[in-house]
Structure 1
């Protein structure tokens, strides 16, 4: 007998904008995002906070997309980058992605960049903002 993978518990009605019901209404919807349980989310956030290189961050972005179907873009902001707030972190709108998770992922990436500013410098350099 095959066990179904664990799925995230639904948010209380009216407390979230995850539109989880939309996923179940479409027969061929991508349900990978529902595999992000609260325990898995904690592990993901911890991993994002402990990123140690730009390549590591890029690998994590790719794994998030491969495993959850969620595209995370991390780029320098359109104006001058003076702090980690100037780094633009964008998550694609994805039905089933909890509001709290939608806020926690960018916050964890920013904390990781603050802990290891060399990653932020490599990100800026990759976009030729440091004139290298």
Structure 2
């Protein structure tokens, strides 16, 4: 009988370098460990995928897949001030035990770079938040 290979999980960060609470998550038998499937190699693939986002639909699909496959919630909201570029948007991954600090920074940065290359996605985000709607 064939035995399934164990799913690789992210190796722990050096002590003091991260506050991801990986050990606490692994110690909890009821904990959602899906986020630990995001190994460094998988994170590189994710960042490359984000780099290829070309539409608002692609961005929404990415957000849904992050939520369903890893349990990560991506929030993109316009700031209260005028939005002239991707810098005017708040792009955040919600805090989650097991989510590395570097990943919480790398994913929003990659999304911001993609939005800067495709400003029409920024307009779609603003429209979805009814900021370009009829006044």
CA contact (8 A) 2:92 2:104 kept: no
> Counterparts of 2:122 and 2:75 in 1: how far apart (Å)?
14
Please identify runs of 4+ aligned residues in structure 1 that moved more than 6 A: none
Where does residue 76 of structure 2 map in the other structure?
Answer: 74
Where does residue 123 of structure 2 map in the other structure?
Answer: 121
Question: How many residue pairs get matched?
Answer: 132
Where does residue 58 of structure 1 map in the other structure?
Answer: 60
> Counterparts of 1:22 and 1:72 in 2: how far apart (Å)?
23
> Counterparts of 1:16 and 1:25 in 2: how far apart (Å)?
17
Unaligned runs of 5+ in 2: none
Unaligned runs of 5+ in 1: none
Q: Report the Cα offset of residue 102 of structure 1.
A: 0.6
CA contact (8 A) 2:85 2:122 kept: no
> Counterparts of 2:51 and 2:80 in 1: how far apart (Å)?
24
TM-score in terms of structure 2 length:
0.92
Where does residue 15 of structure 1 map in the other structure?
Answer: 17
RMSD of equivalent CA atoms: 1.1
